[in-house]
Amino acid sequence: MKEELMLNITPEETNKIAEIIRKIATGGEEHPQEKPEPISSWEMSKIFQCQHMRIFNQISRFLGVEATEEEKKEFTSAKRPFNGGRQTHPIWLLTEKGCQLYIDRMCQEERRSKAFIQGLENFKKEIRKRFHEEKEPEEMILMNGCSRTECGYIKNLFDKFVTGPAIENREIEELSQKYKEFYRVLRNAGMATSENSQLEDAMMGVAMEAEMQGFIYGFKVFEVLLNKSLVAA
């Protein structure tokens, strides 16, 4: 009978585990993170599919009447250019805490609206994406034609794997059979020795890149499972 392993850890702890794995793969090399861009009231109006002035006025009213001095620090006034940059209009820029204040304190009356509920879900997704670089599982996994250099730390692990403990005897039985079939077809083709050599080199290059791609996807799926599927406390 199959049993599921349920780990009682928090999302913060899963992020730490993923970071430890990255540090092991990169030899402890640190990669400084850029400060995430705030979310603007203009972007929020698109997410909630409403007029910008409505969002802008809600925030302005909150800051003028209810917000504490500490809460006001989570909002910054700015100008958005339009009409080819010849004109501007005021917008608010919100930090992650500012976004949460908007959800908790500024739109209580709208929660009965189905359109608002859908917009709220999209807003929460944007918060996770913007401030935590959280992506949908398929976005995190699929390479979409990108180079393997985009996953440098995984490539480093692969190189260590194939030149170390897996330099020999790493093929599965089915792959060994496919190699035998390939060489059988190659012999029966009656090609010149030089052509055989070129074709063999090309095939081996494809096989190595395919093996690396599988290795990359294995780790990317693992990261998704680690960050998305572990049961949080």
In one letter, which amino acid is 98? G
Same structural domain, 191 and 216: yes
Q: Are strands 75-82 and 39-40 parallel, antiparallel or unpaired?
A: unpaired
Same structural domain, 219 and 173: yes
Same structural domain, 118 and 158: no
Average pLDDT, the chain: 78
DSSP bridge pairs for 87: 82
Same structural domain, 104 and 143: no
d(CA 37, CA 41): 13
**pLDDT value of position 107:** 83
**pLDDT value of position 169:** 76
> Quick check: 33 pLDDT over 50?
yes
Residue 4: inside a domain = no
> Quick check: 215 pLDDT over 80?
no
Percentage of the residues of the chain whose pLDDT score is greater than 90: 31
**pLDDT value of position 157:** 75
**pLDDT value of position 74:** 97
Same structural domain, 88 and 18: no
Residues of the domain holding 113: 39-132
pTM comes to 0.50
d(CA 58, CA 55): 5
Domain count, the chain: 2
Q: How sure is the predictor about 207, in pLDDT bands with cuts at 50, 70 and 90?
A: confident
Average pLDDT value for residue range 140-169: 70
If one compares 129 and 12, the residue with the highest pLDDT of the two is: 129
Number of other CB atoms surrounding residue 75 within 10 Å? 21
Residue 51: inside a domain = yes
| For the ranges 64-73, 100-109, 174-183, the one whose mean pLDDT is highest | 64-73
Same structural domain, 67 and 28: no
